[in-house]
Amino acid sequence: MSGQPYNPLDKLNLARSIEIELLSRPAVGFDKLDDVRGAGVYAIYYFGDFPSYAPIKARNSDGKYALPIYVGKAIPKGGRKGGISADASAGKPLLDRLGQHGASIEQAENLSINDFVVRHLVVDDIWIPLGENMLIETYKPVWNRALDGFGNKDPGRRRATQYKSPWDVLHPGRRFAEKLAASGLSTDFLDERVRDYLAGRPMKRLPRVIEEQENAEQAEAEESADNV
């Protein structure tokens, strides 16, 4: 047999070990998250009847939960500033972050919180970004890749150039998004974009101004991670 010897400390193998451990955890409803403590990674699964997500529902039927609709991370408070000194088991950043996501789903007019479950895993702080990246690369969740905005927080006073995210256009109802400007995106456009993505077809590009806003919001989210 040829090739390099197996290295358990290779970055890819470390990331895969986090993924395997997360997948071994039970998937629970948002109403079962009261006792979650610590920081780490999570995967959210959907099995409802929103038409565009039929391929996702099929993968998550009968309790299989094989395809996340979104994955994310919650780092320890001070994690971006303190690095390895942060304690991933302390506090409740995972609970707080998942609580924000649960509120977003509950406010959406065309989604039901009862159609979602979550897997979560407390992870040593230096491995949290690695685990999240592996999950995104493995599963390419639609809310991470094709329909941006689910993870956005209330931006406070609206900037003159800030528009509703694609997620808020397709799933209206979040109270903070109502004060944002209309982006010009239609639900038909975004529905087609989601369907194309899930079918493996090329997606239509978002308007440049929306792409630029998404990039800025992602950078802002990283900078504000300690405030979860």
Greater model confidence, 138 or 224: 138
Residue spans of the domains in the chain: they are 11-227
pLDDT exceeds cutoff 60 at 60: yes
pLDDT for res 212: 85
Count the residues in the chain: 228
pLDDT for res 82: 46
Distance CA 3, CA 168 (A): 48
Distance CA 60, CA 53 (A): 11
The mean pLDDT of 21-48, rounded to a whole number, is 95
Angle at 169 between CA 75 and CA 171, to 5 degrees: 70
Strands (DSSP E) along the chain, which ranges? 40-46, 68-74, 116-122
pLDDT tens-digit series, residues 150-203? 998 877 655 545 899 999 999 999 999 988 988 889 999 999 999 999 999 999
Average model confidence (pLDDT) across the chain = 88
pLDDT for res 2: 57
pLDDT for res 216: 78
pTM score, two decimals?
Answer: 0.88
For the ranges 36-50, 96-110, 113-127, 201-215, which has the lowest average pLDDT? 201-215
Distance CA 23, CA 158 (A): 38
Task: Return the amino acid letter for 107.
Answer: Q
From residue 152, alpha-carbon distances to 17, 46, 70 in Å are 28, 19, 13
- Check: CB of residue 88 under 8 Å from CB of residue 77: no
